[in-house]
Amino acid sequence: MTLRRTRVVAAGLGVSLLAACSAGSSSSGTSGGSTGGGGASGATGATDNKVTIGLVAEPASLDFTTNDGAAIPQAELGNIYETLVKQDQDGTIVPGLATKWTVSPDRKTYTFDLPAAATFSTGAKVTADDVVQSITDVKTKWTIGLKAKMDPVASATAVSPTQVKVTLKQPSNSWLFDMTTRVGAVFPKAGGNLATTPVGSGPYTFTTWKRGDSIVLTRNEKYWGAKPHFKTVTLKYFKDPTALNNALLSGTIDVISTVQAPEALSQFPTSKYQVIEGTTNGEVVLSMNSARAPFNDKRVRQAVRHGIDHQGLLDTCWAGKGKLIGSMVPPTDPWYEDLTKVTPYDQAKAKNLLKESGKVGTTIRLRLPSLPYATACGTVVKSMLEQVGFKVQLDTLEFPAAWLTTVFKNADYDMSMVSHVEPRDLPTVFGDPTYYTRYSNPALKPLLTAADTGTEADQTANMKKAARLLADDAAADFLFLLPNLMVADKDITGLPKNAITEGFDLAALSRS
């Protein structure tokens, strides 16, 4: 897998910034994203066509300012809501809602220009005041942990109706990148009910949500940029991988957004379907609650890591699709290092560590979300850990609601497993002792601070140190990186090869 360095591209910068195959064949997918000005990459002009996307993990709410979970921004970000800047398929930061931006020589002041033609779907103009209010609300009204990504901001002011100035407390290497995620979404200053009637400036508008089944989006005919190809997009949710596959085979859906049964790819003939395989940010993390026994003992955590045959796990539960990484960093980040050798598979060492800790025979509760990769891999993890001396009680919690409440919010678990798909989320997952992992290490915070405030070289060096610290301390076990594995009708174009952003870019889709 090629290591890509994240770059920043903007007009008029003041200084320099930031599965495999079905029957032996796979499509390459989209290699790039839109390049600013609201244009939709891959669109071929407005038509009355419709498309249905099959997904898993339905949102619990439509309001990502007060609700966690990746399913909400997957549906909304870049579709209903826009961000000032966004990432393309190579990880390059490019103009989004902003047409350009500049940064001051001291790296503390960012100035963004907005298009005069931009409007919300209500017809109201997008102004600098809306952007200022959106930034302020993240700091003052958002309730989820990701709001901390706006902490570097000292002030945001409207220079004119189409220009915004943001001043940081100190230079931050991560802030502009974080503005490509949900925290950078621009909302109308007038507000509204985000949970039921989201309103944004994006190429699609929210139409209906049939809970337990589907969300329907409709092309925003008032969109300030290029109009998407599809007039209607239905996001249809499935809990069962077989039902998801059958829906494509029967023509009920046009795209499987994330294959949930990789071993079944052979049922999709290449004469009719395309298979796209790339990479993601989705580290499948086997979390260990560090705030309580037995995982407040480093030796027990290390025993878990040594006791799992990661390649055997990947081959058994996910048909060998994915990549072993050994850390909380995917290969698309510039500070990636292969850390799989830090705690290699070694059953004898795992048994010895467990014996030294006095925890042989300890019962641990592995609480899994009801997601296919978790339920498939959870039974394999259970078997492997029991072979080295653990007793494992397996619980499956409905996802998202039950898992988010029990594990994520209340940390009522010993071990869990979930794919963390948010970009560059190592500081979020392990830098906050109140986060559900409950991990606390005084050596980590200085590394994260130095990475964010130093030079680009400092960022890379210190993030590498942070990733290695987590691996050495067995903060969690990083089982594998999920692949971006999609199957679609052969005439669908614009599908992303790499799923490295939070949103599913529906405006890029078309039909040949």
**Measuring CA to CA, which residue among 353, 65, 277, 71 is closest to residue 182?**
65
For the segment 169-213, what is each residue's pLDDT rounded down to a tens digit?
Answer: 999 999 999 999 999 999 999 888 999 999 999 999 999 999 999
The alpha carbon torsion through 509, 510, 511, 512 (nearest 10 deg) reads -120
Tokens representing residue 171 in the block:
């230079």
3-state secondary structure of 374: helix
Total domains in the chain come to 3
Same structural domain, 269 and 413: no
Q: Helices 444-453 & 456-472, crossing angle to 10 degrees?
A: 160
Other C-beta atoms lying within 10 Å of the C-beta of residue 386:
12
Same structural domain, 313 and 387: yes
Answer with the one of 184, 212, 241 that is the final residue of a domain. 184
Same structural domain, 440 and 468: yes
Q: Domain for residue 337, yes or no?
A: yes
Same structural domain, 324 and 470: yes
Q: How many CA atoms lie within 13 A of 495 on its CB side?
A: 30
Same structural domain, 374 and 470: yes
> What pLDDT, on the 0 to 100 scale, is given for residue 26?
35
Same structural domain, 112 and 208: no
Same structural domain, 98 and 125: yes
Same structural domain, 264 and 230: yes
Are the C-beta atoms of 207 and 27 separated by less than 8 Å? no
Q: Domain for residue 57, yes or no?
A: no
Same structural domain, 439 and 417: yes
Q: Domain for residue 322, yes or no?
A: yes
Same structural domain, 270 and 286: no
Q: Domain for residue 38, yes or no?
A: no
Strands (E), 379-497: 391-397, 415-420, 476-481, 484-489, 492-493
Are the C-beta atoms of 453 and 262 separated by less than 8 Å? no
Residue ranges in 217-309 assigned as alpha helix (H):
241-249, 298-307
The one-digit pLDDT tens for each residue of the chain (512 residues) are 332 333 333 333 232 222 223 222 333 344 333 334 444 444 444 455 999 999 998 999 999 999 998 999 999 999 999 999 999 988 899 999 999 999 999 999 999 999 999 999 999 999 999 999 999 999 999 999 899 999 999 999 999 999 999 999 999 999 999 999 999 999 999 888 999 999 999 999 999 999 999 999 999 999 999 999 999 999 999 989 999 999 999 999 999 999 999 999 999 999 999 999 999 999 999 999 999 999 999 999 999 999 999 999 999 999 999 999 999 999 999 999 999 999 999 999 999 999 999 999 999 999 999 999 999 999 999 999 999 999 999 999 999 899 999 999 999 999 999 999 999 999 999 999 999 999 999 999 999 999 999 999 999 999 999 999 999 999 999 999 999 999 999 999 999 999 999 999 999 999 99
Residue 342: C-alpha distances to residues 20, 299, 373, 424 (Å): 28, 14, 24, 21
For the segment 276-306, what is each residue's pLDDT rounded down to a tens digit?
Answer: 999 999 999 999 999 999 999 999 999 999 9
Residue ranges in 144-274 assigned as alpha helix (H):
175-178, 241-249
Q: Domain for residue 77, yes or no?
A: no
Same structural domain, 172 and 269: no
CATH number of the domain enclosing 150: 3.90.76.10
Q: Domain for residue 418, yes or no?
A: yes
499: containing domain: 204-278+485-511
> What pLDDT, on the 0 to 100 scale, is given for residue 90?
84
Same structural domain, 266 and 391: no
Q: How many CA atoms lie within 13 A of 356 on its CB side?
A: 13
Beta-ladder partners of 477: 286
For all residues of the chain together, what is the average pLDDT? 91
CATH number of the domain enclosing 385: 3.10.105.10
Work out the angle at residue 388's Cα, subtended by the Cα atoms of residues 382 and 393, and round it to the nearest 5 degrees: 30
